[in-house]
Amino acid sequence: MMNCLTCFLGGTSPNGFRTHFGDMIADTDFHSYIIKGGPGTGKSSLMKRLAEAFPDDEKEIYCCSSDPNSLDAVVFPGRKVIIVDGTAPHVFEPEYPGAVQQILDLGAYWDIGRLKRSKKDIISANAAYLQQHARCRRYVTALASVVGDTFQIGSAALNDEKLDGFIKRLSKKILPKRSDTSSGKTEFRQLSALTPEGYLTNIPQEYSVYLLNDNYYAGSDKFLRKFAVTASEKGYSVSVSICTLYGNETFEHMLIPELKTAFITADPINDIALAAKQPINFRRFYDKNIIAEKKLRIKFNESAARDLIDEAVLSLRNAKAEHDKLEQLYIPAVDFDSVNRLCYTLISQIKSLSAE
């Protein structure tokens, strides 16, 4: 698909699923379709078909962190239309029903009698599914603790003056002056998430990439925060991606769409390695003596983080297996002919909305 940004709706955090997508649904310039329905009701397939129905449109595809092959949302920025899965763990409700947001209830196409006959199996699989997600959150909570410890070490060792000077020089180099003097806006797009396949990152292929190599987290976070402000002040809108695995809103990546430029952090959590336009080694922004004093502690934290991520990923993999069982119980009870008719109706509605 052309002109397509792929990201995640959100991701696992110590406090459960975290997302900024609600900010988009609250935007009254958009018309949002919020899909309700259980597993196996065709939510993801419906969104994939809608995305394919407008092949030449600019679009944003939001993958599911629990299953990267499934979709949680599709956004058509040019048409000002959003289609999103509004079921747990990312529950969305309409603030202006009908006028701005609209509920699509796929549960209306269930054979309730058939589901009742599978009641015990559904309850059992759902309980196992929730249990695995709870286990994952416990590992992520421990992960946030050890990563937070390294982050604090990095913060104490960071040479702010040196980093600020670098930001100033780089911004002059890659942020051309614009005739429009109005400030740009800052939005959130989740590029990375913990999934059953590991910690994955979606990087737009058409973007030039600056790789921020940072083993201590604090420098890249501060760089991205300050560079986002600088870009905005110069009139460029930016898309920021946080790392949901930490206890705070740590900036992990950033896109400047107008310049097709991406800043991608590579650290012990995501272990990203790619050909970059300009790799930036953040070691130069830290006090070597402070880092050396904490060397053993940092090494322990890195090892613990890897083990905790492995266990969290295993939990998500087990959760997906239970979710697959739920889908197999629901699929035979869904009237997919009615879902298909709904899809055609939605395509027609989206076209009419765009014409208004």
Query: The whole model's pTM is what?
Result: 0.93
For range 308-329, the mean pLDDT: 97
Q: Residue 330 has what pLDDT?
A: 96
From CA 197, how far away is CA 316, in angstroms rounded?
Answer: 9
For range 336-340, the mean pLDDT: 95
CA angle 72, 252, 170 (to 5 degrees): 130
From CA 156, how far away is CA 283, in angstroms rounded?
Answer: 13
Q: Is residue 275's pLDDT more than 60?
A: yes
Tell me: cis bond preceding 268? Omega within 30 of 0 counts: no
For range 91-119, the mean pLDDT: 95
Q: Residue 1 has what pLDDT?
A: 43
3-state secondary structure of 243: strand
pLDDT in tens, 154-189: 999 999 999 999 999 999 999 998 887 788 999 999
pLDDT in tens, 18-72: 999 999 999 999 999 999 998 999 999 999 999 999 999 999 999 999 999 999 9
pLDDT in tens, 204-257: 888 999 999 999 999 999 999 999 999 999 999 999 999 999 877 899 999 999
pLDDT tier, 14 (very low <50, low <70, confident <90, very high otherwise): very high
Q: Residue 132 has what pLDDT?
A: 97
pLDDT in tens, 281-299: 999 999 999 999 999 999 9
From CA 133, how far away is CA 320, in angstroms rounded?
Answer: 9
For range 320-326, the mean pLDDT: 96
From CA 238, how far away is CA 241, in angstroms rounded?
Answer: 10
The burial class, CB within 10 Å (0-12 / 13-18 / 19+), for 222 is buried
